[in-house]
């Protein structure tokens, strides 16, 4: 059946959460979300596993699953995503790494993996210092991303990305030595470790950013695109470079936007006629979750809910409201619920790609709330959007990679399988 229906995917990064006390509510359940609850009351709910039961996903594989890619088959290093996200012209022979400015103490142990979430202006300054590093037979690029994040690209012959990481992912541990996981990567490992050694010498007096942590070593992968697989003209609206990089790799056009949720929805409205599929990414929920700030996560969720009438007034054929992991917040109390109900959108999908509970201050393995509402779905008994309601929903718990198929089916964009 031919269809011109549109799909809008709204990802609240780190949406899933945990209650602060036994028997309490998660961040999402605490937030005042009349618009999201109205969508749940019209649809079916469930929970998704981004990669598999018990697996804590990174942002890359979690988002790939939302886009319909098998995250186990298509493993893409964070370095590539960061480099593409800032528009870096990555060559096939390059090895890229995602890097953090960090703080190490007098004993050489990591005390802050983000150097106090360094200001972007300081990151730019320090990247300029690190560009002075000279490495034998390798061209070096050090490019700022945002806050404490930057990208390091090594360009030369016979480089390999089969490397361990220097980021221990925890405080209280020393930065790790980068090691080759295959013999052909031994030379690359030596080059990377020399970069780290010189970087630490240069940064020694730049507390709190007196160290660097490298992870996600990767070379440019070959990924089939959303236009090729699904025949969709796709666009991405995201503030953070990594998510723009991932979307670009998946074949989406990257739309310029401001920094607020309202800005992102305004960008959607501006370009709505030009694309079939929109991916909108909200980062604030995840950042609050990783900072352990339960209340701030609730506020971000509420901010998104308050803006939903702007999105839904477009009456898209498919709306996907999601999070890539758990980190909820509070919403404006003046939201006009009747406005949403009058819109009667054809399909609404609400979910997340993974959880980032403020209680854990990190991504987690917990399944993520999911909602689908359309004129073709069989509504279940849910009356709100939250972890508890979704756990008893008719969709059960299923792999996130199946979301794209459900969205396409409810947009009437799929034909019958078989005779």
DSSP states of 324-362: SSB--B---TT--HHHHHHH--SEEEEEESSB--TTTTS
CA 372 – CA 206 distance, rounded (Å): 50
- 362 vs 332, residue with greater confidence: 362
Q: What is the pLDDT of residues 201-244, one digit of tens each?
A: 999 999 999 999 999 999 988 889 999 999 999 999 999 888 98
pLDDT for res 75: 85
What pLDDT score does 315 carry? 56
pLDDT of residue 322: 62
Q: What per-residue confidence (pLDDT) applies to 38? A: 86
Chosen CATH of 81-218 out of 3.40.720, 3.30.70, 1.10.357, 2.60.40: 3.30.70
pLDDT of residue 316: 58
- pLDDT tens-digit map of 332-350: 334 343 333 333 446 777 8
CA distances from 124 to 82, 130, 142, 152, 167 (A): 15, 10, 10, 13, 21
Q: Please check the confidence at residue 73 and state whether its pLDDT lies above 90.
A: yes
- pLDDT at residue 48, rounded to an integer: 95
φ, ψ at 323 (rounded to 5°): -140, 150
Q: What's the whole-number mean pLDDT along residues 238-253?
A: 90
* Mean pLDDT value of segment 29-38: 93
pTM above 0.95, yes or no: no
Average pLDDT over residues 96-101: 95
| Cβ count near 208 (within 10 Å) | 17
Output the six-digit token pair for 329: 């917040």
pLDDT at 331 over 60: no
Burial (Cβ within 10 Å: 0-12, 13-18, ≥19) of residue 177: exposed
Closest CA to 369 of 396, 355, 390: 390
Is residue 6 pLDDT above 70, yes or no?
yes
Residues of the chain above pLDDT 90, percent: 67
| pLDDT digits 0-9 by tens, 143-202 | 999 899 999 999 999 999 999 999 998 899 999 999 999 999 999 999 999 999 999 999
Q: What single-letter DSSP state applies at residue 385?
A: -
CA proximity to 108, closest of 45, 171, 188, 36: 171
Residue owning tokens 């701030």: 296
pLDDT, residue 336, reads 41
Among the four given CATH numbers 3.30.390.10, 3.20.20.140, 3.30.420.10, 3.40.720.10, the one describing domain 7-75+223-410? 3.40.720.10
Read off the pLDDT of residues 39-49 as tens digits, 9 standing for 90 and up. 888 889 999 99
121 C-beta neighbours (distance < 10 Å), count: 9
pLDDT at residue 260, rounded to an integer: 92
Does residue 348 or residue 356 have the better pLDDT?
356
pLDDT at 87: 87
Write out the two tokens for 276. 């079939």
pLDDT in tens, 277-322: 999 999 999 999 999 999 999 999 999 999 888 766 555 566 666 6
Q: What is the pLDDT of residue 29?
A: 98
| Tens-place pLDDT, residues 365-395 | 999 999 888 888 888 888 999 999 999 999 9
Q: Residue 324 — very low, low, confident or very high, per pLDDT cuts 50/70/90?
A: low
Mean pLDDT of the chain: 89
Please report, to the nearest 10 degrees, the dihedral formed by the alpha carbons of residues 100, 150, 123, 259 taken in order.
-110
Give me the pLDDT at residue 76, please.
Answer: 85
CA distance 6 to 230: 13
Q: How many Å from the N-terminal Cα to the C-terminal Cα in the chain?
A: 15
Angle at 346 between CA 343 and CA 349, to 5 degrees: 100
On the question of pLDDT at 16 being above 90, the answer is: yes
CA-based nearest residue to 370, from 324, 412, 409: 324
Considering only CA atoms, which of 297, 294, 293, 286 is closest in space to residue 356? 286
Domain boundaries, the chain: 7-75+223-410, 81-218
- Give Cα separations from 228 to 15, 222, 232, 267, 418 (angstroms): 29, 13, 8, 25, 21
Counted residue by residue, the chain has a size of 419
Q: What is the pLDDT of residue 373?
A: 80
| Two structure tokens written together for 2 | 């031919």
Q: Can you tell me the distance from the alpha carbon of 132 to that of 222, in angstroms, rounded to the nearest whole number?
A: 32
Instruction: For residue 280, give both structure tokens.
Output: 């909108």
The phi and psi torsions of 309 (rounded to 5 degrees) equal -55, -35
CA separation for the pair 159, 109 (Å, rounded): 29
The SS3 call for residue 142 is strand
């Amino acid at each position: 059946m031919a269809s011109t229906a549109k799909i809008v995917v709204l990802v609240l990064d780190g949406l899933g959460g945990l209650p602060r006390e036994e028997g309490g509510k998660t961040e999402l359940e605490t937030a005042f979300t009349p618009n999201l609850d109205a969508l749940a009351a019209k649809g079916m709910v469930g929970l998704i596993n981004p990669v598999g039961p018990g697996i804590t996903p990174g942002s890359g594989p979690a988002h790939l699953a939302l886009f319909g890619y098998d995250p186990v088959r298509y493993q893409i290093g964070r370095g590539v995503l960061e480099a593409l996200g800032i528009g870096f012209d990555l060559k096939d022979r390059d090895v890229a790494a995602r890097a953090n400015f960090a703080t190490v103490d007098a004993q050489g142990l990591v005390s802050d993996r983000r150097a106090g979430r360094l200001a972007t202006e300081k990151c730019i300054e320090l990247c300029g210092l690190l560009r002075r590093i000279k490495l034998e037979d390798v061209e070096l690029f050090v490019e700022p991303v945002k806050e404490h994040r930057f990208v390091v690209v090594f360009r030369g012959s016979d480089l390999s990305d089969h490397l361990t990481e220097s980021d221990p992912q925890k405080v209280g541990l020393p930065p790790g030595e980068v090691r080759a996981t295959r013999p052909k990567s031994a030379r690359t490992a030596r080059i990377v470790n020399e970069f780290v050694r010189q970087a630490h010498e240069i940064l020694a007096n730049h507390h709190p950013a007196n160290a660097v942590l490298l992870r996600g070593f990767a070379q440019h992968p070959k990924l089939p695109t959303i236009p090729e697989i699904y025949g969709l003209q796709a666009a991405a609206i995201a503030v953070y470079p990594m998510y723009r990089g991932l979307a670009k790799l998946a074949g989406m056009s990257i739309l310029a936007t401001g920094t607020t949720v309202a800005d992102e929805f305004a960008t959607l409205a501006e370009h709505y006629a030009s694309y079939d599929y929109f991916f909108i990414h909200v980062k604030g929920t995840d950042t609050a979750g990783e900072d352990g700030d339960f209340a701030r996560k609730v506020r971000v969720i509420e901010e998104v809910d308050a803006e939903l009438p702007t999105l839904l007034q477009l009456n898209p054929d498919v709306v996907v409201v999601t999070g890539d992991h758990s980190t909820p917040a509070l919403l404006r109390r003046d939201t006009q619920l009747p406005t949403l109900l009058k819109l009667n959108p054809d399909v609404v999908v609400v979910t997340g790609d993974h959880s980032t509970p403020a209680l854990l201050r990190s991504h987690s393995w917990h399944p993520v709330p999911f909602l689908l509402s359309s004129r073709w779905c069989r509504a279940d008994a849910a009356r709100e959007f939250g972890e508890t309601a979704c756990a008893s929903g008719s969709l059960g718990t299923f792999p996130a990679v199946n979301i794209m198929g459900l969205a396409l089916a409810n947009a009437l964009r799929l034909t019958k399988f078989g005779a």
